[in-house]
Structures are given as C-alpha cells and as structure tokens.
A and B are shown apart, each in its own frame.
Chain A
Amino acid sequence: MRAMVYRGPYKVRVEDKDVPLIEHPNDAIVRVTRAAICGSDLHLYHGMIPDTRVGATFGHEFIGVVHDVGSSVQNLKRGDRVMVPFNVYCGSCYFCARGLYSNCHNVNPNATAIGGIYGYSHSCGGYDGGQSEFVRVPFADVGPSVIPEWMDDDDALMLTDALPTGYFGAQLGDIVEGDTVVVFGAGPVGLYAARSAWLMGAGRVISIDHLDYRLEKARTFAHAETLNFNNHNDIVMQVKMATEYLGADVAIDAVGAEADGNLTQHITSAKLKLQGGSPIALNWAIDSVRKGGNVSVVGAYGPMFSAVKFGDAMNKGLTLRMNQCPVKRQWPRLFEHIRSGYLKPSDIITHRIPLDDIAEGYHMFSAKLDDCIKPVIVPAAA
C-alpha cells in the first residue's frame, strides 16, 4: 500500500508499505478514503515531538471503510463506512471508565502522561496513522463509529479531531451567557472553538491570529471580531482596551507549541527544541483574561517544560483547564448541531491533495501558502 512516511524534520515522502495486519482480536483494518493534515501534525513534521521515528506514518484524522475485523469485534463489519476518533483507547481502564478517553492507560506503553494517538510518534504509543491507504484501528468496538447515512465524508472527517477539539475547548472555558471569549489562533481548531463559543452563549467572540486570510475566515465562518497581533505592539493591551480594561472572561489557546509573536520563545522552542512548546499564545491568554477568569488550552504542547507565566495565572486567580479532547464523547451532541444546521464543519476545508503529493501538502500547510486552512488528503484507492 502507499503511505506517507516521515524522513526527518521537514521531510516526508510516500512509500510502499505492507498493509497492516490484525494484531489483537478487537482490531480492525480500515481502508482510508479521506485523511487530513492537522496543525499538530506540523509539530511532528518539524521534529518537535520526542520519539518521532523515521519511517513512521502520520495522520490522526481519517475516515474509511472497514476492510477486515478481528475475531472479537461485534459492532463493525467489513464494508462499514466509519469515522475514527484520533484517540486510541480501550474503553475499560480507570480513565476510560470515567469518560477520559484521551487519557487511556491501556494503549500507550511509552508514556503514562498521554494516551494513544494514531500516527503521533512513539510518545503516543507508536501507532501508524491514516495518511495511507490502510490503517490498523485497535479497539474497533470502542473508538470508531459507522458514519450516519445523512453525513457527508468531509463533515465526518472534520469530526475525527478538529471540530470536537474546538468544541471541547469552548466547554473547558466554562462560558456563561454574555461572556466575552477571546480565541488565540484562527486555524481549524481556533475557528471551531470560536464558532462553538456562541453555542455556549457567549456575548462576544474575538479571534486573534497574524494571518489575514484566516482572520477573514474567523469573521465569516465563526462570526467573530478579529485582531491581527502583528499589527499591534502589545496584543494583550489591545484585548484590554477592547474590553474596557477588564479583560476577557474566557481565553482559549488554540495554537499550542509553535506559536508565533515572540522571536525568542519561538526560536528556543520550535527551532532549537529547548522547550516543550512556545507558550506565547498561552501567556497572552493568561495575561488578557480578566482576574478570576478561565483559560482553556487545546493547543498541543510537547512533554518538555515550557516558560509559562504561572505567577500571573496564580495572582489573577485564574482557572486553567486543558486536555486532549475525548472525541467520541462530543459526537452525539455535535451530530445534533450539524443536523440542525448550526455547524457546517467542511466549510473550513481549503485544499485537496492526492496522497502521492503529500510532501507538497505538508510544505504548503507548514509555510501557510495559498491561503491554506485545512488540507485534506485523498488516497488513490479511495
């Protein structure tokens, strides 16, 4: 089969690999029909996530058709059209039993601090991802779901990570009616978080980025006010002024490890890998939220330390909430919102790339060329 393969920082190609095998009775093998490149895949691509091995296949956002199932699989059969959450999880450990599917203890031998994620380094369990023609899906009775007949493939694909993560980020903000919500990052997760803030009853949503084409999307897709941090010496001050010097009630970090806006932070983390991530957006969130406010973090960071302004967070009495999203918990409610017409997830897709052109897709998305917001990968066999 054809599969994307990592060849070292900033280098990927497509190679022929063996079709994955059933390795556990509850495995399924899924033939991938659509995959996406996630902003967090760029952390792998840039060599920021420890134990990212040359030869690995990335991709934690994918949908497909069941090609084969293990002997204990009860809920899926060959030919089913399925969507797969980015979390690999068992459904039965201490954490899964409490709904914390992203924190599963039974799927990642390499670390206890994070659960399993498809195609996201050995630090997340050493599973190959879905930017390929076939992928092994463990715990087929737990993670994947049959895609409802009324749902189109692109919407289903966005439901495997980006939309649930943004929606989850808005929930972590504990928004109450009329709150002012500031969202750092107008990439896919930030756009969905901003859009979801309205569902929670926000009275005002401000989206912040440095890419004008993404801010335009924040205005049209997420109905947000926008600020370009590159046009201001001090973006925190801008938020303060925009909120009559109070600060926002809720701030959401939808950027994560490779935030821009502070050269020292960016170079020491994204380039020199001396921090687990560049917490520029997180620090801005801490500083621009009001005293007693909530900071929600859904941007991804590596496991190393980062220079975060905890003094300000403590002195302001902030509540910081964060996690990888337990995707499947979000699905029933998100399905309702899509059916009601409140959300159209595929509206943010900007590019479709054949799997064989994956290097182009990564370069374009990484370098933010061609007004790229969300690239979708289509295998030849799809």
Chain B
Amino acid sequence: MLPYTAHKPAHTESSEQLRARIPGLGADLDPKDRPSVPKERFDPAASGAHWEFPERQKEKHPRERSIEHRQLTPVFGTTIPTKGLSGVLRRLSYARYGEGRAAHWLILIAADRIDAIESHLRSFGTANPDDPITQSGVLSERRRHGISSRFGRGRADLKHGWLDPLIILGPWLIAGVAAVKVGRMLLRRH
C-alpha cells in the first residue's frame, strides 16, 4: 500500500492513451532538448553581444543606485527621476541601506505611498487632475459583468474584496476629512 511500499502509483491512463490525446507528449523528455538545462552554460558569444563591456550611457541626472553595486551600471532606465519628499526618502534608502535590509524596502514602500499623495495633489494644479473613478476602471463594471462574474461562482477573493475600495478611496477620504478639519480650525480662529 502506497506510500508504505516501494511502488509508484499507477496512472489511470497509459502512455499510449496519453499520447493519443496530448500533442507533443514527451517531446522534451530528454534533458538535452530542454533549453534551460543545465542552468548555467558558459557561452559569451551566444547572446549576440559584440562588446566585452558595454559603452556607457550618459548620466544626465544623478542616478540613484544600490550600494551593492560598485559602480553605476552602463545602461539604466531614465524614467521618472526622484522628486519631492518621496524622492528624498528614495535617495536616502538607496544611499544608506543595502538590499538585504528590510529598512531599504520599507522606506521605498513608504515613499511610494507619499509619491501617490504628492502626485494627486500636484495633479490638481494641472489641466489633467486625477480622477479616482475613471482611473480605477470601475465604470466598466456593468459592461464586464461585475455582479455575475463575482457572485455565485465560489471565488475565494470575495472574502477580502471589500478592502479594495478602501485602498482606492481611503487616501481621498482621509485627505477630505483632514481638509474639513483644517478649514473648521481656521474658521474658528477668525
């Protein structure tokens, strides 16, 4: 009786039956046919690179980097340079903490939340202010069968689905309450 004896469990379908219904069954059975075996294959020519070390991309703005890098990598992304309070925190995190430290990642996550608030506020001074309704995509609920897709289908995620609106609207509610309180405080002073 398995697994108290040495036998493997027998499958309900034989190899022949499987081969008849599954195209390509066993085509990569031989590890030699598997492109990621072995994991490491030393072959510098295989990639198509025609350099030993790449030419360096110009650093137009000071680029933050992990302290686990001994130098700035020769190529890097240039999108969204750091700015504002979130930028201060991001630069601090990169300058002070290695990737093995939880502080590094926690500060970056905190900076992300601050960045969202800073960017929302900044957007109100532009011709294209943030709109949590259109940007969250919830207007598509009806067209995409929001109710019938969720209910009566045994989905595990319904247990925590109520949290999503809080995450989307929470910062707006907090900011609204704070604005009302500050407004009332100022009115009382005058």
List A residues at the B interface (Cβ < 8 Å): 7-13, 15, 23-26, 47, 50-57, 72, 74-75, 88-92, 96-101, 105-113, 116, 122-123, 125-128, 138-139, 141-142, 168, 171-172, 177-178, 180, 196, 198-201, 203-204, 210-212, 223, 228-231, 243-247, 260-261, 263, 266-267, 271, 273, 276, 290, 302-305, 326, 328-330, 332-333, 337, 340-343, 357, 359-364, 367-372
**Cα A77 to Cα B63 with chains together (Å):** 30
**Chain A contacts of B46 at CB under 8 A?**
99
Is B138 on the interface with A (CB-CB < 8 A)? yes
At the interface, yes or no: B68 with Cβ under 8 Å from chain A?
yes
Residues from chain A with Cβ under 8 Å of B99 in the complex = 111-113, 303
Q: Does B160 contact A (CB under 8 A)?
A: yes
| Residues from chain B with Cβ under 8 Å of A23 in the complex | 57-58, 78
Which of chain B's residues have a CB closer than 8 A to the CB of A362? 137
Contact B66 A141 (CB under 8 A): no
CA of A75 to CA of B66, assembled, Å: 32
Which chain B residue lies CB-closest to A100? B40
Report yes or no: B115 in contact with A53, Cβ–Cβ below 8 A: yes
Q: Is B77 within 8 A of A125, CB to CB?
A: yes
Q: Tell me if A360 and B144 are in contact (CB < 8 A).
A: yes
B99, B123, B143, B150 interface centre (most CB from chain A within 10 Å): B99
Determine if A10 and B155 form an interchain contact, defined as CB atoms under 8 angstroms apart: no
Contact between A180 and B9 (Cβ–Cβ < 8 Å)? Answer: yes
The answer to whether B3 and A290 touch across the interface, beta carbons within 8 angstroms, is yes
Partner of A24, one of B43, B75, B132, B149: B75
Complex CA distance for A109 and B111, rounded to whole angstroms: 18
- How many whole Å from B61's CB to the nearest CB in chain A? 11
- Chain B residues, CB < 8 A from A7: 116, 119-120, 123, 130, 135
B76 A54 Cβ-Cβ under 8 A: no
- Chain A hits for B58, CB < 8 A: 23
Contact between A112 and B68, CB atoms less than 8 A apart:
yes
Within the assembled complex, what's the spacing in Å between the Cα atoms of A142 and B13?
44
Instruction: Report which of A8, A231, A332 forms a contact with B116, defined as CB distance below 8 A.
Output: A8
Which residues B128-151 have CB closer than 8 A to chain A? 128, 130-132, 134-141, 143-146, 149-150
Asked if A340 meets B24 with Cβ closer than 8 Å, knowing A9-B116, A109-B63, A128-B77, the reply is: yes
CB distance from B157 to the nearest CB of A (A): 5
Centre residue among B63, B137, B171 by max chain A CB count within 10 A: B137
Partner of B155, one of A123, A196, A203, A368: A368
State A177–B8 Cα separation when bound (angstroms).
Answer: 12
Given A108-B73, A199-B28, A359-B136, output 4 extra A-B contacts at Cβ < 8 Å: A11-B135, A107-B76, A178-B8, A359-B137
B55 and A72 within 8 A (CB): yes
Contact yes or no, B149 A96, CB < 8 A? no
Partner of A53, one of B2, B37, B66, B80: B80
Provide the residues of chain B in CB contact with A333, threshold 8 Å. Answer: 28, 33-35
Most chain B beta carbons < 10 A, residue from A53, A244, A303, A342: A53
User: For residue B46, which residue of chain A has the nearest CB?
Assistant: A99
Q: How far is the CA of A228 from the CA of B29 in the complex (A)?
A: 29
Asked whether B2 lies within 8 Å of A228 as measured between CB atoms, the reply is: no
* Closest residue of B by beta carbon distance from A47: B112
Residues in B whose Cβ lies below 8 Å from that of A357: 140
CA distance A72 to B83 in the complex (A): 33
Q: Which residue of A lies closest to B169 (CB)?
A: A10
Verify A369–B155 contact, CB threshold 8 A: no
- Closest-CB distance, A176 to chain B (whole angstroms): 8
Per-residue contact bits, chain B 98-121, to A (CB 8 Å; 1 contact, 0 not) = 010010011011011101101110
Which of A56, A97, A229, A245 is within 8 Å of B79, CB to CB?
A: A56
* Residues of the A chain whose Cβ atoms lie less than 8 Å from the Cβ of B130: 7-8, 11
Q: B139 touches which one: A89, A180, A245, A360 (CB < 8 A)?
A: A360
Residue in chain B with minimal CB distance to A125: B77
Let me know if B154 and A231 touch, CB within 8 A: yes
Whether A142 touches B102, Cβ cut-off 8 Å, given contacts A51-B108, A360-B140, is no
Chain A residues with CB under 8 Å of B66's CB are 109-112
| Residue of A110, A261, A341 ringed by the most chain B CB atoms within 10 A | A110
Bound Cα distance A91, B74 (Å)? 13
- A126, A263, A330 — most chain B CB neighbours (10 Å): A126
A126 B41 Cβ-Cβ under 8 A: no
Q: Of all chain B residues, which has the CB nearest A340?
A: B24
| Complex Cα–Cα for A326 and B108 (A) | 27
Could you tell me which residues of chain B, from 38 to 95, have a CB within 8 Å of some CB in chain A? 39-44, 46-55, 57-58, 63-66, 68-69, 72-80, 86, 90, 94
The reply to whether the CB of B174 lies closer than 8 angstroms to some CB of chain A is no
Minimum CB–CB distance from A170 to chain B (whole Å) comes to 8
Distance, CA A43 to CA B56, complexed state (A): 31
Q: How far is the CA of A210 from the CA of B156 in the complex (A)?
A: 6
Q: Are A359 and B135 neighbours in the complex by a CB distance under 8 Å?
A: yes
For the complex, is B168 an interface residue (Cβ under 8 Å from A)?
Answer: yes
